[in-house]
Structure 1
Amino acid sequence: MIREFRLPDLGEGLTESEILSWRVAEGQLVTLNQVIAEVETAKAVVELPSPFEGVVARLHEAEGTVVEVGKPIISFDVIDTDVPVPAEPEPQRRQPTLVGYGAEPDRAGRPARRARRGLAAPAEPTPPAPARAPSPAAAPAPAAAPAPAAVITDAPVRERPRSTPPVRKLARDLGIDLALLTGTGPQGRILRADVEAARLADRGRSGESVTAETAVPPVVADAPHLGQGREERIPIAGIRKHTAAAMVSSAFTAPHATVFLTVDVTASMQLLEKLRSRKEYDGVRLTPLVLAAKAVCLALRRHPELNARWDEPAREIVRYRYVNLGIAAATPRGLMVPNIKDAQDLGLRELALAISDLARTAREGRTPPAALSGGTVSISNVGVFGVDAGTPILNPGEAAILALGAVRSQPWEYEGGIALRQVTTLSLSFDHRLVDGAEGAAFLRDIGDVLAEPAMVLAMD
Structure 2
Amino acid sequence: MAPGLNVNSLEFKLPDLGEGLTEAEIVRWLVQVGDVVAVDQPVVEVETAKAMVEVPCPYGGVVTARFGEEGAELPVGAALLTVAVGAPAPEEPAERALQAAAAEESSGNVLVGYGTAAAPARRRRVRSTGSAPQGSAPAQPVPTLPTLPPLPSPPRPDGPIPVISPLVRKLARENGVELRELAGTGPDGLITRVDVEAAIAAERTLAHAVTATAGAGAAAGAGAEVRYPLTGIRGLVADKMACSRREIPEATCWVDADATELLAARAAMNAAAKGGEGDGQKVSLLALFARISVAALARYPMLNSRVDMEAREVVRLADVHLGFAAQTDRGLVVPVVRGVQARTTDSVNAELIRLTEAARDGKLTPGELTGGTFTLNNYGVFGVDGSTPIINHPEAAMLGVGRIVPKPWVHQGELAVRQVVQLSLTFDHRVCDGGTAGGFLRFVADCVEQPAVLLRAV
TM-score, normalized by length of structure 1? 0.74
Residue number among 296, 300, 309 corresponding to 2:297 in the alignment: 300
* CA contact 2:40–2:115 (8 Å) conserved in 1: no
State yes or no: 1:441 paired with 2:438.
yes
Residue number among 260, 267, 273 corresponding to 1:266 in the alignment: 260
> How far 1:410 moved relative to its partner?
1.9
State yes or no: 1:76 paired with 2:76.
no
State the one-letter code of the partner of 1:3: L
Output one character per residue of 1:187-215: Cα deviation in whole Å (capped at 9) or x when no partner. Answer: xxx9xxx959995xx9xxxxxxxxxxxxx
SS in 1 for 2:403: coil
Between the aligned partners of 2:453 and 2:194, the Cα distance in structure 1 is 49
Residue number among 161, 166, 173 corresponding to 2:164 in the alignment: 161
Aligned match of 1:27: 34
Between the aligned partners of 2:225 and 2:193, the Cα distance in structure 1 is 21
> How far 1:237 moved relative to its partner?
2.3
SS in 2 for 1:277: helix
SS in 1 for 2:31: coil
* CA contact 2:304–2:320 (8 Å) conserved in 1: yes
Residue number among 218, 225, 234 corresponding to 1:240 in the alignment: 234
Aligned match of 2:249: 255
State yes or no: 1:8 paired with 2:15.
yes
State the one-letter code of the partner of 2:52: V
* CA contact 2:42–2:120 (8 Å) conserved in 1: no
Aligned match of 2:116: 101
Output one character per residue of 1:275-332: Cα deviation in whole Å (capped at 9) or x when no partner. Answer: 1111224531322211111100001111011111101122111001211011111122
* CA contact 1:49–1:103 (8 Å) conserved in 2: no
SS in 1 for 2:166: coil
Between the aligned partners of 1:413 and 1:38, the Cα distance in structure 2 is 57
Residue number among 354, 357, 363 corresponding to 1:357 in the alignment: 354
* CA contact 2:33–2:148 (8 Å) conserved in 1: no
> How far 1:62 moved relative to its partner?
1.6
Between the aligned partners of 1:149 and 1:358, the Cα distance in structure 2 is 37
* CA contact 1:380–1:401 (8 Å) conserved in 2: yes
Change (3 A) 1:231 1:417: same
Aligned match of 2:322: 325
> How far 1:454 moved relative to its partner?
0.2
Between the aligned partners of 2:282 and 2:424, the Cα distance in structure 1 is 24
Between the aligned partners of 2:121 and 2:361, the Cα distance in structure 1 is 20
Residue number among 57, 64, 74 corresponding to 1:50 in the alignment: 57
Change (3 A) 1:13 1:448: closer
Q: Where does structure 1 lack aligned partners over 5 or more consecutive residues?
A: 88-93, 124-141, 151-157, 182-189, 203-215
* CA contact 1:35–1:104 (8 Å) conserved in 2: no
Change (3 A) 1:446 1:149: closer
Residue number among 366, 369, 378 corresponding to 2:366 in the alignment: 369
Residue number among 340, 344, 348 corresponding to 1:347 in the alignment: 344
Matches within 5 A, 1:186-197: 195=193
Change (3 A) 1:265 1:58: same
Identity %: 36
Output one character per residue of 1:2-56: Cα deviation in whole Å (capped at 9) or x when no partner. Answer: 3221111223364322222222223333333221111233433221112223332
Aligned match of 2:393: 396
Change (3 A) 1:38 1:179: farther
Between the aligned partners of 1:296 and 1:378, the Cα distance in structure 2 is 9
SS in 2 for 1:407: strand
State the one-letter code of the partner of 1:166: K
Between the aligned partners of 1:320 and 1:425, the Cα distance in structure 2 is 28
State yes or no: 1:283 paired with 2:280.
yes
Output one character per residue of 1:50-104: Cα deviation in whole Å (capped at 9) or x when no partner. Answer: 22233322221122222222221212233455444599xxxxxx96425243474
Aligned match of 2:153: 143
Output one character per residue of 1:226-247: Cα deviation in whole Å (capped at 9) or x when no partner. Answer: 9999665444322222111111
Change (3 A) 1:316 1:413: same
Between the aligned partners of 2:420 and 2:439, the Cα distance in structure 1 is 20
State the one-letter code of the partner of 1:143: S
Aligned match of 1:133: none
Between the aligned partners of 1:241 and 1:388, the Cα distance in structure 2 is 28
Between the aligned partners of 1:56 and 1:373, the Cα distance in structure 2 is 33
TM-score, normalized by length of structure 2? 0.75
Bigger shift: residues 449-458 or 25-34: 25-34
Change (3 A) 1:394 1:177: farther
Between the aligned partners of 1:368 and 1:442, the Cα distance in structure 2 is 35
Between the aligned partners of 2:242 and 2:205, the Cα distance in structure 1 is 28
The two structures, once aligned, show a CA RMSD in angstroms of 4.0
Change (3 A) 1:32 1:171: farther
Between the aligned partners of 1:62 and 1:232, the Cα distance in structure 2 is 28
Q: Where does structure 2 lack aligned partners over 5 or more consecutive residues?
A: 1-7, 88-100, 125-133, 135-146, 215-222
> How far 1:178 moved relative to its partner?
7.4
Between the aligned partners of 1:149 and 1:385, the Cα distance in structure 2 is 44
* CA contact 2:177–2:196 (8 Å) conserved in 1: no
> How far 1:391 moved relative to its partner?
0.6
* CA contact 1:171–1:178 (8 Å) conserved in 2: no
Between the aligned partners of 1:40 and 1:221, the Cα distance in structure 2 is 31
SS in 1 for 2:277: helix
Residue number among 2, 17, 26 corresponding to 2:24 in the alignment: 17
State the one-letter code of the partner of 1:76: V
Change (3 A) 1:32 1:230: farther
Between the aligned partners of 2:78 and 2:182, the Cα distance in structure 1 is 35
Aligned match of 2:217: none
SS in 2 for 1:280: coil
State the one-letter code of the partner of 2:40: N
SS in 2 for 1:445: helix
The size of the alignment, in residue pairs, is 393
Aligned match of 1:412: 409
